[in-house]
Structure 1
Amino acid sequence: MLDGLDAVGWSSLTHAYGEATDVPELLRALASPDPQEREEASDELLGNIWHQGTVYPASAAAVPFLYELLTAPEVQDKSAIALLLACVATGAGYLEVHAAGPVDEPVWRDILSKQGKTLERELEREAAEVGNVRRAASVGLRHLLPYLNDPDEEVRQVVATALGRYPEHAGWAQPAIEAALASERDEDVRAALIQSQSHRPGAAHD
């Protein structure tokens, strides 16, 4: 398990706090027999490869290993891994989130101009990075389907949201979303499922 983890150039990748050299150890810790170690690793990854809704180059590199952990029979606390994957799958770029609007955009234009950069160019670079994350997440997205029935409401909600962000998979995702909606009682989860239904191709014309 996790073959190839050390072959990734983590020092050349970044997450919310800089170089991603801590990511391999954290990924391995998700498979630890120690519950506290698993929980701490999950919390740290939720803070660095997905930080308040934003994703980074290290996020895309981590996703295949997270899917491997999610599908490995011996790994425990898979709900936490599914939550992390679903969060990453819905992630956006930092500037996309923080440099939008009439107040923040001029501030970031000024910051970037002092670095010899433009907001437009940085948004393009960031969009490419987010695209890499989406492609990585898309490959194994089907593995999240069982977590539409997870005991934890937060996991169900975030997974439902993630599935709705990939309309190219509507053929197999929408039947699962509809089945989950039929039995879901939590209002927040129901809202996420309904929102994900609205993202399917042709939904606006139903």
Structure 2
Amino acid sequence: MLFGFNQNQDIIPEIYSSLNKQDLIMTFLIQYNFCVDEKLKIPLFYGKNAKSIRDVFEKFIYDISHVHFGKIKNIFKLRLKATNKGFIFKTKSVKKYNLKQIFKNYYYGMCFNTHNLFCDYVYNKISKQNIDRVVDQKDNLIIVDQKCAILPLCKEIDIHNLEIENEIHKLLTLIRENNFDRFYIVCPRNENFTHFIEIKHFLCDLNKTMLKLVPYKISNQLIRRK
């Protein structure tokens, strides 16, 4: 599954296909901002009235460069053919951003693996929320202070038709071999999955590990953990 856009259209994974256009754009932009370098981030307000994900980048580039967008396209095409020449606009605000790379992303298109994007978003957000704790990432598993484990799972959950037996089975080895106090499986929140579900299993009881399936809201808000 890919999430992003190319030169012709937005590329939407099935898990987010039920979102309206505005929520879809913000879902991409929030995750994008959590996972890229500071100089590539785009303020969220550019997503509020955008017609597509690609349109977010176009509106941002237009504003930050203060140059007519048609001219930007022509300049960029020429600079691609030149060697050792920068893509520079004479504005103070440009210094804060890597406008050349942002425009390349816009011009050629940009897609992320949907699952990897969600995993990186969850890891980066948890890291920012727990600045005084040790947060490690081993493959997709996030571990906080060696006591709490979080497994991001980019899967659509319906509490009325819960199908996570395979995922639970894979976790049993981790639960058996570690002394986690808490183990969370976090999936994107949706209208059919708004509350956590505590999962009972004899191994969890044996290891005294609390296992929960948690709806994870894709949001820019940070809640600092103490």
User: So what's the TM-score if we normalise by structure 2?
Assistant: 0.27
**Which structure has the larger Rg?**
2
More strand by share: 2
User: So what's the TM-score if we normalise by structure 1?
Assistant: 0.29
More helix by share: 1
